[in-house]
Every structure is written in C-alpha cells, then in structure tokens.
Structure 1
Amino acid sequence: MRLLTLPTPESTTAPTERATALAFEDRRSHQLLQRVKQAAAGDAAVLLAGETGTGKEILARYVHELGARRSRPFIAVSCAALSPALAESAIFGVEQGSGARGPAPKRSLVEAAEGGTLYLDEIGYLPLGAQAGLLRLVQDREVVRLGARQPAPADVRVIAATSVPLEDMVAVGRFREDLLSRWSGAAIAVPALRERPGDILPLARHFVAVYGRRLGPAPCVLASSAMERLLAHPWPGNIRELEHVIQKALLVCRAGRVTGNDLRLASLPPKAPPPALPGVSSGVDAWMATLESAITALFEGDLPNVHERVEEIVIRAAYRRCERNLGHTANRLGVSRDLVRARLLQSGELAAPPASESPATPSRAGEARAAVRELLAPEP
C-alpha cells in the first residue's frame, strides 16, 4: 500500500494538527502524487487547492522534503488565524527604528523560513495589503518590511493552500487577481476523500493499526459491516473525519473488531424550514427578514463591534448544530477550520488546549515551532 505520513521520525519538519496520513491507492491519488513530485522538482511557488481535511499540509511538507530545501526550515502558519492588523508585520517584518505602529515581532515568518519553505494555509484570508507584499515575495524573492523604504532579498519558497475557491474571492474583491495568476500554472487540485474512494479503506486500516497499538498488543480489525459503512459515507470532513471516527470506534468495539455499529458517523439532516410569515414567500425568507431587522436594530442602537458579535453568534450556532465538530462547522459555513477554531477560542465556546512542555533535547522541528510561537507572541 502506498501511504504517506508526515512528519516521519527522520523528518526535519514539525508535527501537524491536520490530517496525519495520505494513501495513494485510488487512481486520482496516483495522479495527485505525480503532480506533487513534479512540483517538488522545481523551486517555484505552489498552490494547493482542496477542501478542509484533505491533507494539503502533508503534501506541502512532502514537496519540501523532496526538494533541495529539505535541510532548511519549514514554517507553517494559518492566514485565518493571523490578526488582520498585524499580518503584514508578522509575515514580512518591521524595519527597526521605523516608528511603525504596533508591536514588532522579533523575527518575521519570512526570516524564520530563510533558505527553506514558508507554508501559508488558507491564503484566501490574507488581507489585501499583505497580498501585495506576498506578490513581491513570490515574483521577485524580496520583501519590504513595514516602515522600510527599500526591499530586502528573501530566499524562501512559498507554498500556499486554500479551501475556498480563490476565483470567487477575486470576484468579490477580497483576493488579488495578479497574485492568483502567479499560481495559474502551479496550482494542484487536491481531491476530496469521497472523490478517491479507493483510499478510504487503506486509510481506515492504517488508523486502526496506529490507534489500536495504543490500546494494547492485540491487533484490531475492520469487520465487513464497518467497511460497507465507511465506503458509503460522504466524508464531509475528509481524512481528518475518518481518523476521528476510527479513534472513537476503537474505544467502543469489542475484542478488537470494529463493526458497523461501532462507527459514529455524523448525520446532519437539514431541519425543516419554519412556516412562512404573512407577506413573505417562504420560511427561509421569513427568517432572513427577521435577522436583517434585528441587525438593523443593533446598528441603530450604536452598539460597538456589531459585526464581531454577529459573527460570533453565527459560528457558535453552527458549531452546536454540527454536534461540536470543527470540520463540519467549517464546511457548513464555507470558511476554514482554523477560522472557526480561532473564533470559538475567542468567545470561550472552545477551551484552549494546555500549553505543552518543551522537549528536553531541542530538534530542528522544535526550533521551527518555537520560532513561530515567538513570532506570534505579543511584546511584553
């Protein structure tokens, strides 16, 4: 079985919280792997386009590991999690003594990735001002720090990823057309898991083996009833959803045998629309009219941060409707998982994970993670 898992023990890159494995048994996956290998042979910027949870970061790390920059840093950051006000300074840096407003990070992301690869996840959420700087970086391999008058060289390969169609972002004025055109010949479409069904069972068996070993020495297996359900499920959360389903199934299965009844597959049937109000054509229109009236009343009340409050309510309601599943919530809202997670953390709906302890022996991967944490941390 062709299986790609990153990071590997000998990898120079840092661990990922996203999909942890990719199988290449399906015909479409064979084509994807060949396309990735072709991209790795060069040094041009690459764009990975696909749904959340399809393994885009794994592919980006694979491109890095196969290329000439494999011994240099791989720095990954989600553009959806960057503060719009600080995105430019975080990525490109601040000129010392320039008097630029806002806290200046000790090292920019570009500086941390010097000689290596800068991976920008959810590139569609990068502010337009930062997109101009990114265009210069991709096109001329140079950056202009905030407050600087002259550009500075930057030896960095850029790999970007998106889960939303950038053409749609261009149409509504939220993404630069010239930047998108730079990736027109280097864009790689990453199929959703439902579009490569030949990979479902190999991945499921891999996750059964990985997580089964953590539960005990006895091997775990998939029953035929479980395989049938796995193949029939549409997997809106893609590989990450499959991994979580297998994890949970192993906790409830008996004698190390996962059956169809052990699989907790999310089923989110749409609710029936509410009855129509007088003068409104449908229940949906009625709810939208009520929502618009409520938002108008909030603005008339001159309340601060109306947009942020409404966004918080929308994301929280979707999160609870989707049974507190981040991937399903992101797909339902048509936004990135990182954006949903960031907003839920800000509102307190999602508990912040405990700070992990630093390893006793720092590795190159650990140094890369530390560089990103240092960069994004506010100045004292």
Structure 2
Amino acid sequence: MSHIDSIRKDFPILKREVNGKPLVYLDNAATSQTPQQVIDVIVDYYQNYNANIHRGVHALSQEATDKYEQARIKIQQHFNAKKTHEIIFTSGTTHSINIVANGFTSLIKKGDEILVSAMEHHSNIVPWQMLCERTGAILKVIPMSQEGELLMNVYDDLLCDKTKLVFCNHISNALGTINPIEDIIEKAHAVGAAVLIDGAQAAPHIVADVQKLDVDFYTVSAHKICGPTGIGMLYGKEEWLGKLPPYQGGGEMIAEVTFEKTTYADLPHKFEAGTPNICGGIAFGAALDYMNEIGFDAIAAYEHELLEYATQKLLEVDGLKIYGTAKNKTSVISFNINGIHPYDIGTILDKLGIAVRTGHHCAQPIMDFYKIPGTVRASFSFYNTMEEVDVLVEAIKRAKNMLQ
C-alpha cells in the first residue's frame, strides 16, 4: 500500500521503543493495535455522554443508546446480516460460542454427533466438550493434513443424520489456513446440521457475508480488528436465536418479571443481560469504519505481499521450518528452528523490540499433531512493513547464533 506511512501514523503505539529498539509488532493474531480514530471515539464517550442505555429518559442516556444501536447497524451492514437483531453484542468470540453451546444443551440429546475441526482454538473445543458431557452427545474431529488443510473427504464420511452441529474456524489462528467454509456449511446443511463459524481470525482479513455463506452462527472479537478488548458479536439466524434459551438472567434481557414468572425480551436483548460494554460497542463500529475506509481488498492484497515476502525470507534461514503451508492462507507464519525451543527465540526477539507469540497459541491439538511443544508465530497486519520483515529475519539469525 503506497500510503503505509500515513496509516502507521494513525497508530500511536507504533512510535514506541521496546528495550531501546523501535517496536516491531508482529502479534496481530492475538490482538491488533488501535488507531487514534478509535481511541478518540472511546475518549469522546467517557468525556461527553457516558450513561446507561435503553432505560434512561434523559439526554445522555438517549445519546448513548443511539450511538450503541447505530454501531449494531454498522456491524449488521458490514457482515450483511438480514436483520439488526441478529447481531448480539458479547464480550468476544469465547462468550459468543458459549452462548450457543449453552443454548444447545436443551436441543441436543444422547447419541447426537457434533463435529469440530482439528485446528480449532481452545474456545471452540472446550465449550463443545462441556456440551457433550451435559448431554451425552459425541464429539468427532475433522482431521487435517501435514500442510495444515482439513481432510474434506474424511469430513464427508463423518457427516450423517446423527450430525447436529458443525464447528470450524474461518481462519486458523495457529497456522493461517483459510478453511473452505462454503463447502463445510453446504454439506452440513445437507444432513440437517447447524454450523457455527469462528470468525475471530478472519474478520481482520476477509469480510464474511453471512447471508451469502448461509451460516447459522458467526462469531467475531473487536480487538482483532483495531477495536477494543472485551467486546465482540454473535451473529445468529433469527430462527436459531429464537430457539435458544437465554444464556444469563438479569436486567435488560427480560420483558416482565414477577416472583411467579418472568417473560423474556425479544432479540437481541434476550441475550444481552446487564449493562453492556457500551463504549466498546460504539468503538467496535468505529473500528469497522476505519478498516472499511482503507478497504478490505487493499488490506488483503498488501497482507498477501507481506506474507509472500516474509515466507521467502524466513525459508532462507537454515534449519527454519514453517508449520501451516496451506495453498489458501493469510498473513500468519508459525515456525521453529531445529534444536531451539520457541520460547527461547521469542525471548531474544523481545529483547530486540520484536513482539511475536510463542507457545501452542491456544491450539494444543495442532501442536500434538506435529509433535512439537509450540511454535514462534509472526502475524502481520496492514500496518506492518517489508522493512519490519527484514528486521525480524536478521533478529532470528542473531537469536539462532546465540542459542546454537
């Protein structure tokens, strides 16, 4: 992107030094940085119209309510949901998945089958294991290849009339693989199963059109897409959200309460108990505005260039192995160097001002599959540069010399 310098100026944190070196931030898959435009929206909320929403008749409350609900409309339009109330504000992807897992407790019975992919984040494994324990359903795994691609022929074999739910991430946080979710959704629907797609890693790179995908549930965390932490969304088709019972009881999610009986509010409030992260919701909308202004096509093209350049440069380092070589992948590179623990490399890179992630990336089954303790993960965003890739490669060479 020709205007990379002006984009970088939007992110105050990129001017920081770490250990006396300019910060090279390559942990974007864990959380992205926040541009000044979104920080300003957060400050504006607390300075000018901080109030509780939906219940107040006073001016501040009405202003906060309007801005919060406008953000919901922005999110609906961005993901092309059919109706605004199909967008539920949550604290993030994990919360979103748990709402669905909890809701299905009353809809799943013993012997029903649930399919999950081998490359899921723990937040898309553990809630389903808990659901199986509660209901007696059986969890089955769609395996993957050495390249980090799902074995779709095995998926075909696993699908049957007992399959009630299928869960898969749109993009793997540990490998960068972009999964063929269109195929996964279509085949699941053919046997009558519902599908939840974890879009946390996809949202920064791809705009998912939930109607075109015909997906039943789609989850996103704002902190991966230049927004704040502690806010995200659950998209659900109206018919499914109507079937699921509320996840939490409290204020806002009720229509009427007496000591004898409570009736629940309509969507989306049925799933939004208590005072929400009002400022977060408004900032989530602002973050989408910011990224849409740059343009997702431009972001995808530039990040692909970064990925290709970084892959080529890293493979020139002796003994470096990349995990996740899918044909269709995004700007994440997980790697190890022969004979060196990933944590040791990450520690030296930090001393040189470079932020990467080391460990199993909350995707331990992937590491077990490759029989490794973890990887070093460099994840790139649209505000990273080719020069930063060069700095990373030189630092890895230096770390390698120190540790071997």
TM-score by length of 1: 0.29
The answer to which structure has the higher strand fraction is: 2
TM-score by length of 2: 0.27
